[in-house]
Structure 1
Amino acid sequence: MNKASETTQPKQVVLGSITGVYGVKGWVKVFSHTNPMTNILNYKHWVLRQDGRQQTIEVDQGRRQGKGLVAHIAGCDDRDIARQYAGAEILIAESELPPLADDEIYWHQLEGLEVRTADEAGNELLLGKASHLMETGANDVLVIKACKGSLDRRERLVPWLLDQVILEVNPEAGFIRIDWDPEF
């Protein structure tokens, strides 16, 4: 294959997942990572990733249902057909996300960044890499997983408190600097 015929896939972002079926007319239950959760319904074309395969579907309806969301996939009017989508991740091209202000960052942009702190002598320590953020209600929490070169093999949960714990976020340089006792 020559380079002219190669196609590059746009970078994709996981917005949520399909967790099950709803009703008998082809609706699915949706778990959303967007904030607010209904923002996932603003995207009418979803790429579903499941078992190593991807397919693009069109969402023709969606709404809140109880504490969650439900959506209808165009052309899917049967519960048994809808069931095949259960467990699929919902992705979109990163380029479809709305632009951010200069001081904002999407959570997915933090994943994989090195997380660094300093010891009492001011020596820089690598705690690990940012895995993801969790919402806890009080404040968001950064999950840090050990990586090659990290201080130890521990997983750490650090509150996402800007200017208190989170001192610097530099995705271009690949790191997050925090004020955190490595023994905690």
Structure 2
Amino acid sequence: MGLELTHSVIIGSFASPHGVKGWIKINSATEPTSAILNYQPWLLATAAGWQPIKLIDTKLLGNHLIALLENYHDRESVAELTGKHIATLRSQLPKLSAKEIYWADLEGLEVINQAGVKLGKVDYLFATGANDILVVVGEKRYLIPYRSQQTVIKVDLENKQLLVDWDLNF
């Protein structure tokens, strides 16, 4: 039986095959890119839930990470993984201070502005260099910079809500 996503967190995804011997490029959501290797086991979404997938070898090629996985021995077999998420057990992640939060914990939260208007839910986040951006999807799509105590007023994980200082016209 597979693990539920509540016990796991997505740390990357499989990109395209690399060569003909079963190697595949990895899109890491960790910083630095190679930190994804610190989180074991890797989990792969299947019809039965999240299942462990065993790493045989990895290589860093410039800014790109490639991996060789158990039971994937050629380009065709590993191509099946293209676009699939890589997760790890939440227990593998480092403990954060009280003021820190993982992006994965923000995804799915209901976003409400200070006027009490529900803007939608956090779909995902991305980094721009200057700020991390919340992508909020509801009746409209909002791109809200994550600035603690400026645009993001309160994160309420218990009630699955995010209070923001955000005008509907932005």
TM-score, normalised with respect to structure 2: 0.85
How far apart, in 1, do the equivalents of 2:104 and 2:128 lie? Answer: 17
- The answer (yes or no) to whether the contact 2:33–2:63 under 8 Å persists in 1 is no
Equivalent residue letter for 1:27: W
- Which range moved further: 86-95 or 127-136? 86-95
Q: Tell whether 2:132 aligns with 1:140.
A: yes
- The answer (yes or no) to whether the contact 2:152–2:164 under 8 Å persists in 1 is yes
Name which of 43, 53, 56 aligns with 2:52.
Answer: 56
Q: 1:26 to 1:141 in 2, by over 3 A?
A: same
- Which range moved further: 8-17 or 126-135? 8-17
Unpaired stretches in structure 2, ≥5 consecutive residues? none
- Which residue of the partner structure matches residue 150 of structure 1? none
Q: 1:62 to 1:8 in 2, by over 3 A?
A: closer
How far apart, in 1, do the equivalents of 2:77 and 2:114 lie? Answer: 54
- Which residue of the partner structure matches residue 85 of structure 1? 81
Quote the offset at 1:133 in angstroms.
0.8
- The answer (yes or no) to whether the contact 1:38–1:63 under 8 Å persists in 2 is no
TM-score, normalised with respect to structure 1: 0.80
How many residues are matched?
A: 167
- Which residue of the partner structure matches residue 160 of structure 2? 174
State, as a whole percentage, how many aligned pairs show the same letter: 37
How far apart, in 2, do the equivalents of 1:140 and 1:75 lie? Answer: 37
Equivalent residue letter for 2:30: T
C-alpha offsets along residues 108-144 of structure 1, whole Å, 9 cap, x if unaligned?
A: 101111111124xxxx222111111111222111111
Superposition CA RMSD, Å: 2.1
Bigger-Rg structure (1/2): 1
How far apart, in 2, do the equivalents of 1:77 and 1:83 lie? Answer: 11
Unpaired stretches in structure 1, ≥5 consecutive residues? 1-6, 147-152
- Which residue of the partner structure matches residue 39 of structure 2? 43
Query: 1:1-12 maps to which residues of 2 (within 5 A)?
Result: 9-10=3-4, 11-12=7-8
- Which residue of the partner structure matches residue 114 of structure 1? 110
| SS of residue in 2 equivalent to 1:21 | strand
Quote the offset at 1:75 in angstroms.
5.2
- Which residue of the partner structure matches residue 71 of structure 1? 67
How far apart, in 2, do the equivalents of 1:32 and 1:57 lie? Answer: 16
| SS of residue in 1 equivalent to 2:91 | helix
| SS of residue in 2 equivalent to 1:104 | coil
| SS of residue in 1 equivalent to 2:117 | strand
How far apart, in 2, do the equivalents of 1:163 and 1:28 lie? Answer: 41
Quote the offset at 1:160 in angstroms.
0.9
